[in-house]
Amino acid sequence: MVNEHPVPPFLEWWQAATLHWLLIVGGLALLLTLGGLLVVTLERGPGAAFSKLAGLLLSGAKDLLLLSPRRVWALTWLAVKESIRRRVVVAFAVFVVVLLFAGWFLDPSSHHPGRLYMDVVLSATSYLVLLLALFLSALSLPNDIRNRTLHTVVTKPVRPSEIVLGRMIGFTIVGTVLLGVMCLLSYGFVVRGLSHSHTIDAADVTRLEKAAAIMHEGKLDAQTVRDKKDGDSVIYSRPKLDLQTTRDQGHRHRFQVDPNLATRSRTIHLDEEAGHTHDLSYTIRRSTDASGKAVAKLDYTLGPPRGALVARVPIYGKLMFRDRSGIDAERGINTGDEWTYRSFIQGGTQAAAIWTFDLDPRQFPREVPVEMNIGVFRTYKGNIEKGVLGSLAVRNPKNGLTVEVEIFESMEFAVKKVALPRKIVNYSSKQFIARKTPTPRGMVISPPPGQFDPALLKKTEFDLFRDLSDNGRFEVWLRCLEPAQYFGAAQPDLYIRAGDASFELNFVKAYLGIWMQMVLMIAFGVMFSTFLSGPVALTATLGALVGGLFNDFMTQLAHHQVVGGGPTEALVRILKQQNVVTELDPGLGTTVVKVLLDKPAELFLRLMSSILPSFGDFGYAGFVAYGYNVDLNMLAVHLVTTFSFLVPLFIAGYFFLKTREIAR
């Protein structure tokens, strides 16, 4: 799964974030205060302006601190009532209709039906709930002001802060209840849509029963059964029958059954298909019929799909690259893609992508499950049916011992699973590799030359943690083996699957993400509606949402990370049909465009990208649909971010409402 914005650990994040928050909120507050002072000074002179400011700050502190819970609750209740009157249920009805008919158009036989179903319900929910939040929050206060119903409210001892807070809480309650119900319905829809069962293909059942009957007579046994000693345990290697299930929901599963061992009741997993497997429990009863002929009868039950709805808990490593000449680099090669998420390594050279992990050996007593999803870039087509060959090696960062554990064919667009056993006996090569890192003081080689112990290479069996890691820290090296082909990697592309979290909880987390978006939307809507008329407040809130969604792009524009220059320069290029890489002709026009127009635009963009929340980051649909756990660290960072927006929005809303005339 693509994760372009990994969230930093909360404890590292909060200090810098708090500072940034204080800077932005303080700066904006100062700006607004100075603006207000200027306006009042022009109208009534500086004395009046300062006394007004002092009065405002004093009453502001009182109004914000001395909130009456009963009044806030009364206004909250009013907002809830109003929402119900304004037919919130319509949004809900639309959602139900979407669910009813989505079933017709969603193809359960698609490659990943789980992703499809979850994408549909999560996007339907978020669009509907966000639209609803937008309309409720941005139109409520302006309506009350226009209908003058607010006159009877503000002439009671109600503080403007209570009006703003009551509205924010009220609409949040409505949205939360709605989201809760939608979450339940969606869960039912996804589970029901994906649930299916198979039966074993009728011809295969006959085949199996025949084989079992023959074995019962002892005809096959003598020729095929071979016992192999392996330590204390005996592994039976017998001719297994390849069987398959019927095709249901567009796929069938394959599996193998040993006809001879089938007499005892057993349970096996079918081969994974369409992102899931099933449990098969079976027994074969053997008997002799009236004529003395051996007969066998297969009894089996095939369970529901397993593994379609998962929440994998990944442990991510730190990614570094090694270039084709074997020197460490921050990034690999750019193969010409504008999207620089993945960096590429060249096949058949010393180039590698290196992930460093830090694990606790106690957590992985038997094996370390690695999953990867790597990009492939072909410079020649080759055999397009076949994947590009690559290898995976484990290296001890302390002594440089490297053991190549797996050679594989890349599976594009699919997760490849490799289990690194604790005891490594099967490997394709073992060698010593030193890493060369360029630093300002020259090349640092680790481990330093001459420090490698050649005895290490004599071993034939390696323990993953004892031999190949330095106190739990080890490196996983990905290399492309075919010359002139490339592998692309980003940090989240290779991870260790530490286990699975509850899918249900993960599903709820996706709704928590939508909830955060909704709460932010409501806060923006209510804040804008304290000083703008209905349609304008609506547009402004929508603007905040769209701006927030394009926050990354704005940041990149403001920091010159987008080719083609600022907004005006881009416009000039469009009009002159000039491409984005050639410089504009130097001259007065270009200077005006670049300095007079684009510099202020840049400042504005920088400010906006700081003020607006990145709504997109709160959408966890990708995580949940692709089966990755939304970790608590990310949730904590996002929840704190949400609340850090709510407080200034509430205070701003209060001051706007306080300083405006309710009547006209």
Partner 1 sequence: MQPDTVIETRSLSKVYRDFWGRQKVRALKALDLEIRRGEIFGLLGPNGSGKTTTMKLLLGLLFPTSGQALVFGNDATEVTKNERIGYLPEESYLYRFLNAEETLDFYGKLFNMPAEVRRQRVGKLIEMVGLSGAKRRQLKEYSKGMTRRIGLAQALINDPELVLLDEPTSGLDPIGTRDMKDLILNLKKQGKTVVMCSHLLADVQDVCDRIGILYQGELKELGRVDSLLKVRDETDIRATGLSPAAVEEVQQVIVKHGGTVKFVGNPTTTLEDLFLHIIAQSEARPGRRVRGGAGDGQ
Minimum gap (Å) between residue 146 Cβ and partner 1: 10
Interface with partner 1, residue 164, by CB under 8 A: no
CB 3 within 8 A of CB 492: yes
Minimum gap (Å) between residue 10 Cβ and partner 1: 39
Interface with partner 1, residue 167, by CB under 8 A: no
Q: How many CA atoms lie within 13 A of 100 on its CB side?
A: 6
Residue of 151, 423, 576, 599 interacting with partner 1 (CB under 8 A): 151
Range 602-661, binding partner 1 (CB under 8 A): 661
Region binding partner 1 by CB under 8 A among candidate stretches 67-75, 307-315, 488-496, 647-655: 67-75
Residue of 18, 68, 363, 502 interacting with partner 1 (CB under 8 A): 68
Kindly state the tokens that stand for 159.
């503080």
Residue of 3, 40, 60, 63 interacting with partner 1 (CB under 8 A): 63
Minimum gap (Å) between residue 62 Cβ and partner 1: 9
Residue of 80, 121, 124, 159 interacting with partner 1 (CB under 8 A): 159
Interface with partner 1, residue 127, by CB under 8 A: no
Residue of 65, 425, 581, 663 interacting with partner 1 (CB under 8 A): 663
Axis-axis angle for helices 632-658, 160-194 (nearest 10): 150
Minimum gap (Å) between residue 90 Cβ and partner 1: 16
Interface with partner 1, residue 82, by CB under 8 A: yes
Region binding partner 1 by CB under 8 A among candidate stretches 150-158, 253-261, 287-295, 416-424: 150-158
Query: Would you say 78 or 354 has its CB closer to partner 1?
Result: 78
Is the bond preceding residue 447 a cis peptide, omega within 30 degrees?
yes
Interface with partner 1, residue 71, by CB under 8 A: yes
First to last CA, the chain: 55
Region binding partner 1 by CB under 8 A among candidate stretches 29-37, 65-73, 195-203, 522-530: 65-73
Query: Would you say 585 or 661 has its CB closer to partner 1?
Result: 661
Query: Would you say 132 or 433 has its CB closer to partner 1?
Result: 132
Residue of 153, 407, 415, 601 interacting with partner 1 (CB under 8 A): 153
Which of 272, 138, 255, 129 is closest to 201 using CA atoms? 255
As a whole number of angstroms, the distance between CA 28 and CA 471 comes to 49
The C-alpha torsion from 128 through 133 and 136 to 138, rounded to 10°, is: -130
Kindly state the tokens that stand for 206.
């006959």
Range 572-601, binding partner 1 (CB under 8 A): none
Axis-axis angle for helices 113-146, 160-194 (nearest 10): 160
Range 105-124, binding partner 1 (CB under 8 A): none
Kindly state the tokens that stand for 576.
């002159």
Axis-axis angle for helices 69-85, 160-194 (nearest 10): 50
β-pairing verdict for 473-480 and 423-424? unpaired
Residue of 11, 70, 229, 413 interacting with partner 1 (CB under 8 A): 70
Residue of 47, 157, 336, 365 interacting with partner 1 (CB under 8 A): 157
As a whole number of angstroms, the distance between CA 318 and CA 112 comes to 29
Minimum gap (Å) between residue 43 Cβ and partner 1: 9
Range 129-148, binding partner 1 (CB under 8 A): 147-148
Any idea how long the chain is? 664
Nearest 5°: the CA angle 94, 98, 104 is: 155
CB 88 within 8 A of CB 133: no
CB 66 within 8 A of CB 158: no
Which of 132, 259, 256 is closest to 538 using CA atoms? 132
Region binding partner 1 by CB under 8 A among candidate stretches 1-9, 62-70, 420-428, 582-590: 62-70
As a whole number of angstroms, the distance between CA 547 and CA 553 comes to 9
DSSP 157: S
Residue of 149, 224, 340, 363 interacting with partner 1 (CB under 8 A): 149
Region binding partner 1 by CB under 8 A among candidate stretches 151-159, 301-309, 454-462, 543-551: 151-159
Residue of 177, 415, 456, 662 interacting with partner 1 (CB under 8 A): 662
CB 514 within 8 A of CB 127: no
Spell 298-312 as b/e; 16+ CB within 10 A means b. Answer: bebebeebeebbbbb
Range 486-505, binding partner 1 (CB under 8 A): none
Query: Would you say 152 or 582 has its CB closer to partner 1?
Result: 152
Residue of 5, 81, 247, 466 interacting with partner 1 (CB under 8 A): 81
Interface with partner 1, residue 65, by CB under 8 A: no
H/E stretch holding 407 reads strand 401-409
Minimum gap (Å) between residue 608 Cβ and partner 1: 24
Minimum gap (Å) between residue 171 Cβ and partner 1: 16
Spell 200-232 as b/e; 16+ CB within 10 A means b. Answer: beeebeebbbebbbbbbeeebeeeeeeeeeeee
**Strand ranges inside 440-594, DSSP E:** 442-446, 462-463, 473-480, 485-489, 494-501
Query: Would you say 415 or 651 has its CB closer to partner 1?
Result: 651
Those residues whose C-beta lies under 8 Å from the C-beta of residue 266, and which sit 6 or more positions away, are 281, 282, 283
The C-alpha torsion from 547 through 550 and 556 to 558, rounded to 10°, is: -10
Query: Would you say 159 or 479 has its CB closer to partner 1?
Result: 159
As a whole number of angstroms, the distance between CA 134 and CA 538 comes to 7
CB 345 within 8 A of CB 489: yes
Size of interface with partner 1, in residues (CB under 8 A): 28
Minimum gap (Å) between residue 199 Cβ and partner 1: 57
Interface with partner 1, residue 155, by CB under 8 A: yes
Minimum gap (Å) between residue 276 Cβ and partner 1: 49
- Coil, helix or strand at residue 66: coil
Q: Binding string, 319-338, against partner 1, x = CB under 8 A?
A: --------------------
Residue of 40, 78, 190, 634 interacting with partner 1 (CB under 8 A): 78
Region binding partner 1 by CB under 8 A among candidate stretches 80-88, 401-409, 581-589, 590-598: 80-88
Minimum gap (Å) between residue 522 Cβ and partner 1: 20
Residue of 158, 214, 481, 651 interacting with partner 1 (CB under 8 A): 158
Binding site for partner 1 (CB under 8 A): 63, 68, 70-71, 73-75, 77-78, 81-82, 85, 147-159, 661-663
